[in-house]
Amino acid sequence: MKRIMLTLLGVSFSASIAGAADANWTTYGGNYAGWRYSELTQIDTTNVAGLAPKWIFQMRVPGKTESSPIVSDGMMYVTAASNNAFAIDLRTGYAVWSYSKTPPKPLDLCCGEVNRGFAILGNRLFKVNIEDTLVALDIATGKTLWEKELGDYRKGYSGTLAPLIVKGNVLVGTAGAEFGTRGFVDAYSAATGERLWRFYTVPEAGAPGSETWGPDATLRVGGSTWMTGTYDPALNLVYWGTGNPGPDMNGDVRPGDNLYTCSMVALDADTGKPKWHFQFTPHDTHDWDAVADPVLVDLTIGGRKVKAVIQANRNGYFYALDRTNGKFLLARPYTEINWAKGIGPDGRPIVVPNLDPSNEGTRVCPGMGGGHNWQPTAYSPLTGLYYFGSTDGCQTFYRHDREFVEGEWYQLSGARDPQGERSKGSFLAIDPASGDIKWRFEMVRRPSGGAMATAGGLVFLGDASGNLIAFDARSGKVLWRFQTGAPIESPPVSYTFEGKQYIALASGTAVLAFALP
């Protein structure tokens, strides 16, 4: 009965104002808490087997598409590689406008001219460009309203993340730690592009945390902030993960813990002042950025209710922290680990000695990419489970020595697969209150796409072979899959158009929208 009434309501609304009654997807993480969870229930475990593509939009932009679409009022806004973006009509899959800006050359990038999506506020869209600028576009035309430099691309700064809108301001971070840049989180006025505050993830000489580096202040580099944070309105805190210290593989020039790299920071949303920090990997030498989604969930641990922030860290451990004060709650390994014997009661890893990268090579598990890397994760309040992909295997880490030169590649070696070893992958469901693995779907390759959960009891994932897969969120059973024809490097989103639920994502250089018949 209820369902029929809802359907009627949907029809009447769509007849008057297209999309007015529809469910949108308006933030990178689906909500402020970063759940990547859709409340929609039309597509569920009983009918997902009938899911089929409704339209495919070919962006024809070379490069990897790591973008999470924004859906609002009958339109989809999606970014592509190399400063390109499109506004797509949800009914037909045709583009209404496109945005393109040729990046300056040469650019120093670790990982391609990728972009992870728009943020939306009123009649404006916001994205970063690869040369580390923040740009505001008019939502109706895609025309540039303003563009601000975040960091100097000639010094190795670059921009890849989706911005986060908090209280009418645009929050962003920066990429570039392989080039000796200094990470930051910034807030900008949505109206004018004026910078309102900046938090540096690597402290200046004399500031708190600077004692965790060597004496030479010019060698305090890294801590890039290349993934989108989350926000707790009740606490007025913004949560952001930080990347590796520089140089990545050679820690000799940076004795100490190297705060606030490989950490989670909680910042006052109005001022950018740090409320607390937690460092997952002190003095990292394996490039284990802590930039994976900081997901906000309320857990019951040992009978006590706690406001938590959880993260599947690249170092191979799943963590839960108290998000009010940064206190360590728990950590559990989710993949093979040989670099630590465990995590102490204070949250500090008990590190196995002599596993730093070396000239002849040192075999360490997990490899340089982790564990879980940046790919978006999902939390379902329906199942209470947390879903993410993992690369399972080891790599041989190398290092060398070199002087630091501003703007130049400053990784000082890297990692390769050991001879005869091949990493595999898995997709996991974890109980965030205990870290227990509830199910694990083993994969021949690392899962390259992101996850999304729905109230239909489903969790979706794209893989490196091109499959978009729907799992039963409780059991991990595969209920549906579709070969999209290209490796999937991005997460799905869900929305309704004229009352009908869709699942959409980018695959290769195309955007696909799926629905039931």
Partner 1 sequence: MLSLQTAVLLGLSICTAFAQAPGGLARDPKSAEAGLALYRRHCSSCHGNQAEGGRAPNLTSGSLNDAQRFRTISDGIPNTEMAPYGSRFSSDDIWRIVIFLSSAARSESAVTGDATRGAALFWGKGGCGNCHAVGNRGSHVGPDLSGIGRQRNVVYLRESLVEPGADIARGFDGVTVLLRDGATVRGLERALDDFSVVLQDFSGKVYSFDRKDVRSVALDQQSLMPGYSKTLSPAELDDVLAFLDSLRNPRAPEVRRR
**What are the catalytic residues?**
287
Residue 10 binds to partner 1 (criterion: CB under 8 A): no
Tell me the torsion sign for CA atoms 487, 413, 260, 168: negative
d(CA 397, CA 83): 33
In whole angstroms, give the CA distance from residue 383 to residue 406. Answer: 48
CB of 463 to partner 1, least distance (A): 7
Beta strands in 302-450 (DSSP E): 304-312, 317-322, 328-333, 340-343, 349-351, 362-364, 378-380, 385-392, 395-397, 415-416, 424-430, 437-443
CB of 129 to partner 1, least distance (A): 21
Region from 20-28, 68-76, 303-311, 403-411 binding partner 1, contact rule CB under 8 A? 403-411
411 binding partner 1? (CB under 8 A): yes
Residue 98 as a binder of partner 1 (CB under 8 A): the answer is: no
Q: Is 398 in the site for partner 1 (CB under 8 A)?
A: yes
Decide: is 436 part of the binding site for partner 1 (CB under 8 A).
Answer: no
Report in angstroms how near the CB of residue 479 gets to partner 1 at its nearest: 12
Residue 359 sits in the site that holds partner 1 (CB under 8 A): yes
- Contacting range for partner 1; rule: CB under 8 A; set: 125-133, 180-188, 343-351, 394-402: 394-402
Among 198, 341, 416, 477, binds partner 1 (CB under 8 A): 416
Alpha-carbon distance of 481 to 488, in angstroms, equals 13
348 Cβ partners below 8 Å, 6+ apart?
A: 282
Amino acid at 345: P
Q: Which residue lies nearer to partner 1 by CB, 348 or 402?
A: 402
Binding residue (CB under 8 A) for partner 1 from 204, 401, 421, 436? 401
Cα 460 from Cα 43, distance rounded (Å) = 12
470-490 CB burial, b ≥16 within 10 A, e <16:
bbbbbebeebbbbebebbbbb
- In angstroms, what is the C-alpha Rg of the chain? 22
| In the complex, minimum distance from the CB of residue 475 to partner 1, in angstroms, rounded to a whole number | 16
477 touches partner 1 by CB under 8 A:
no
DSSP 217: G
Identify the sign of the CA torsion 199, 202, 206, 208: positive
Residue 253 tokens, joined: 């020039």
- At residue 50, φ and ψ (nearest 5 deg) are -95, 5
Taking the complex as a whole, the smallest distance from the CB of residue 437 to partner 1 amounts, in Å, to: 18
Q: For partner 1, how many residues bind (rule: CB under 8 A)?
A: 28
CA-to-CA dists, residue 461 to 339, 441, 445, 487, 511, angstroms: 29, 11, 13, 12, 15
**Residue number with CB closer to partner 1 (232 or 392):** 392
The backbone region for 374, taken as left when phi is positive above 0, alpha when psi lies in -120 to 50, beta otherwise, is: alpha
**Does the footprint of partner 1 cover residue 364 (CB under 8 A)?**
no
Q: Work out whether 431 is an interface residue with partner 1 (CB under 8 A).
A: no
Q: State the binding string over 454-473 for partner 1 (x if CB under 8 A, else -).
A: ---------x-xxx------
To the nearest whole angstrom, how small is the minimum distance from the Cβ of residue 203 to partner 1? 28
Q: Is 91 in the site for partner 1 (CB under 8 A)?
A: no
User: With binding defined as CB under 8 A, does residue 286 bind partner 1?
Assistant: no
Torsion region of 3: left, alpha or beta (phi above 0 gives left; psi -120 to 50 gives alpha): alpha
Q: Contact with partner 1 (CB under 8 A): which of 210, 445, 498, 500?
A: 445
Say whether residue 444 binds partner 1 (CB under 8 A).
Answer: yes
Question: Counting contacts by CB under 8 A, is residue 218 touching partner 1?
Answer: no
Determine, following the binding rule CB under 8 A, whether residue 106 of this chain makes contact with partner 1. yes
Give least dist CB 409 to partner 1, A.
Answer: 5
Residues forming contacts to partner 1 in the complex (CB under 8 A) are 106, 108, 359, 398-403, 405, 408-409, 411, 413-414, 416, 419, 441-445, 463, 465-467, 478, 481
